[in-house]
């Protein structure tokens, strides 16, 4: 059957990276199972169990599942209705000297759960530098435009001026929170190890003839081989699904951040102040040829909406586990864990593209400022008049009347804000006529924005990015070679 005749997830066919898809591929999954069986046999031999060198050598030679082995496992699974035992038998055919040693003392979750923890670890390691790359893009952008005035919005209504860089710094801060949360769950991730069918380690205690110290050493060796600092001290048949929820809460929060950032960019695109990159031959609309739709940000928003909703699934799966385990976690985790990381990966790839090529339109930004700034400057005009001995109350009334007249022109006639022209024509304001232009310089209204941006981006953000310096240098090289 052609791939065009069966469903394929768009995450793998359109959006996610090859590296992330490989982590959750069937070959990686089942080859990791084989590697776990090899590590178990090596550790058990080291601790005195009778496992031959030839058995381990054969296992090592067939650590990667071949296409033929997949077919063998498929036939065994049809017979046994058990995927782990199907692969035990298939591995035994590839490594006959090890057939009696594979999976010795283990339960199915030894391979399934430990493999999942390995995949969580690898996937977290893959997305962390990608978040750092987006932060670096925005840091460069924020510093470049740290002092470019732009109209701020509260309630999506015109508010005090900020700068383009200050707005980008807000996005950076939210991504920094995601980065730190994901770093934390990555650092606290532990291994399941060899714990037995209910977490009692009874089978291994029997194998080692009652020597509990050897079980401790077995798990120390397994953790070392797998690259984990330690194993969770308490296990049931599985590692607690609280781990999945903990990871999901951190990773899926990235979806909310991405949607929030792209929402801002989409609104700014409508205002014609900022746009995502737009290719020379890109088509915005099949009907309206003039359009430059923010399709990348819209894609991110769609994927982010899916990602940020996934923690509910992980919470439901965790809370529904009874006693030492139930199998109603299996099917949903096969979908949700890979999907979570494929979504995060897809979002970050596109967000990297967007933030690496943001387009500004300074003239539009300035014209929007000019529509609102005269109103904001009225307090400065009042203060300047007061310095000339003019009654503040009288000045307030005069400026109030002119402001309402100018506002009517804007709102009722669709005209531009002509408040300053009105002030320049009113004799009452003659004492400050020569000062008006200097009183409405936008940079007088951006407060401490440039310093805020510099202090944050060159301080906390730069310090965090230093941790990813090598990965970011590699990302830049890869980008140049495309």
pLDDT value of position 49:
97
Mean pLDDT of the chain: 93
3-state secondary structure 37-92: HHHHHHHHHHCCCCCCHHHHHHHHHCCCCCHHHHHHHHHHHHHHCCHHHHHHHHHH
Residues in the chain: 482
**Class of the domain covering 20-98:** mainly alpha
Name residues whose C-beta falls within 8 Å of residue 124's C-beta, 6 or more positions apart in sequence. 182, 185, 186, 189, 247, 251
Which residue, among 319, 313, 349, has the nearest Cα to 334 in the 3D structure?
Answer: 313
Confidence of residue 284 (pLDDT cuts 50, 70, 90): low
Q: Is 155 a catalytic residue?
A: yes
Query: Of the ranges 199-213, 238-252, 283-297, which one carries the lowest mean pLDDT score?
Result: 283-297
Distance, CA of 246 to CA of 318 (rounded, Å): 10
Distance, CA of 364 to CA of 157 (rounded, Å): 17
Catalytic-role residue among 66, 82, 230, 285: 285
- Contact in structure between 113 and 33 (CB atoms under 8 Å): no
Confidence of residue 464 (pLDDT cuts 50, 70, 90): very high
Rounded mean pLDDT of 450-466?
98
Domain 108-360 has CATH 1.20.1250.20: no
Query: Of the ranges 263-272, 354-363, 387-396, which one carries the lowest mean pLDDT score?
Result: 387-396
Is it the case that residue 281 has pLDDT exceeding 70?
no
Say how many C-beta atoms besides its own lie within 10 A of residue 317's C-beta: 20
Q: Is 285 a catalytic residue?
A: yes
Rounded mean pLDDT of 260-282?
89
Is it the case that residue 363 has pLDDT exceeding 50?
yes
Is it the case that residue 410 has pLDDT exceeding 90?
no
pLDDT value of position 82:
95
Catalytic-role residue among 3, 155, 281, 286: 155
Query: Of the ranges 92-96, 279-283, 353-357, 396-400, which one carries the lowest mean pLDDT score?
Result: 279-283
Query: Of the ranges 230-234, 297-301, 377-381, which one carries the lowest mean pLDDT score?
Result: 377-381
Distance, CA of 229 to CA of 190 (rounded, Å): 7
pLDDT value of position 420:
86
Would you identify the CATH topology of the domain 378-439?
Answer: Ribonucleotide Reductase Protein R1; domain 1 (1.10.40)
Is it the case that residue 480 has pLDDT exceeding 50?
no
**pLDDT by residue (tens digit) across 118-137?**
999 999 999 999 999 999 99
What percentage of the chain reaches a pLDDT higher than 70?
Answer: 96
Rounded mean pLDDT of 446-473?
96
Helices 330-355, 108-144: axis angle to 10 degrees equals: 20
* Every domain of the chain and the residues it spans: 20-98, 108-360, 378-439
Rounded mean pLDDT of 84-97?
97
**pLDDT by residue (tens digit) across 17-28?**
999 999 999 999
pLDDT value of position 481:
37
Is it the case that residue 2 has pLDDT exceeding 90?
no
DSSP 3-state of 24: coil
Confidence of residue 433 (pLDDT cuts 50, 70, 90): confident
**pLDDT by residue (tens digit) across 216-261?**
999 999 999 999 999 999 999 999 999 999 999 999 999 999 999 9
pLDDT value of position 482:
35
Distance, CA of 449 to CA of 455 (rounded, Å): 10
Distance, CA of 195 to CA of 105 (rounded, Å): 9
């Amino acid at each position: 059957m052609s791939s065009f005749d069966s469903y394929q997830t768009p995450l793998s066919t359109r959006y996610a990276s090859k590296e992330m898809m490989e982590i959750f591929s069937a070959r990686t999954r089942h080859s990791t199972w084989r590697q776990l069986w090899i590590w178990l046999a090596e550790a058990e031999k080291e601790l005195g169990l009778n496992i031959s060198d030839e058995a381990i050598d054969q296992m090592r030679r067939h650590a990667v599942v071949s296409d033929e082995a997949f077919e063998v496992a498929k036939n065994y699974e049809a017979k046994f209705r058990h995927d782990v035992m199907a692969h035990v038998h298939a591995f035994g055919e590839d490594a006959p000297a090890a057939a009696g040693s594979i999976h010795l003392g283990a339960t199915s979750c030894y391979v399934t759960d430990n493999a999942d923890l390995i995949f969580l670890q690898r996937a977290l390691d893959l997305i962390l530098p990608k978040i750092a790359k987006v932060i670096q893009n925005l840091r460069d952008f924020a510093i470049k435009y740290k002092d470019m005035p732009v109209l701020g919005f509260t309630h999506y209504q015109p508010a005090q001026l900020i700068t383009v860089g200050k707005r980008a710094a807000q996005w950076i801060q939210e991504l920094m929170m995601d980065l730190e949360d994901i770093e934390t769950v990555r650092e606290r991730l532990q291994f399941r190890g060899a714990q037995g069918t209910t977490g009692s380690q009874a089978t291994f205690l029997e194998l080692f003839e009652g020597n509990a110290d050897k079980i401790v050493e077995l798990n120390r060796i397994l953790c070392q081989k797998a690259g984990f600092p330690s194993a969770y001290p308490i296990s049931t048949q599985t590692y607690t699904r609280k781990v999945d929820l903990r990871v999901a809460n951190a990773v899926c929060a990235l979806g909310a951040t991405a949607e929030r950032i792209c929402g801002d960019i989409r609104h700014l695109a409508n205002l014609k102040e900022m746009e995502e990159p737009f290719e020379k031959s890109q088509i915005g609309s099949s009907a309206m040829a003039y359009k430059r739709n923010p399709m990348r940000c819209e894609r991110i928003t769609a994927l982010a909406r899916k990602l940020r909703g996934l923690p509910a699934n992980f919470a439901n799966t965790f809370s529904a586990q009874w006693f030492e385990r139930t199998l109603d976690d299996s099917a949903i985790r096969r979908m949700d864990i890979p999907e979570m990381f494929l979504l995060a990966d897809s979002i970050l790839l596109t967000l990297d593209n967007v933030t690496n090529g943001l387009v500004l339109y300074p003239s539009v930004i300035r014209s929007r400022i000019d529509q609102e700034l005269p109103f904001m400057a009225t307090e400065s005009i009042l203060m300047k008049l007061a310095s000339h001995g003019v009654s503040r109350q009288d000045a307030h009334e005069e400026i109030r009347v002119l402001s309402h007249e100018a506002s009517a022109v804007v709102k009722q006639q669709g005209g531009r804000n002509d408040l300053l022209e009105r002030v320049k024509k009113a004799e009452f304001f003659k004492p400050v006529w020569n000062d008006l232009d200097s009183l409405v310089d936008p940079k007088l209204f951006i407060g401490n924005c440039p310093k805020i941006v510099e202090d944050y981006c060159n301080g906390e953000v730069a310090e965090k990015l230093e941790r990813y310096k090598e990965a970011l240098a590699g990302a830049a090289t890869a980008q140049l070679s495309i």
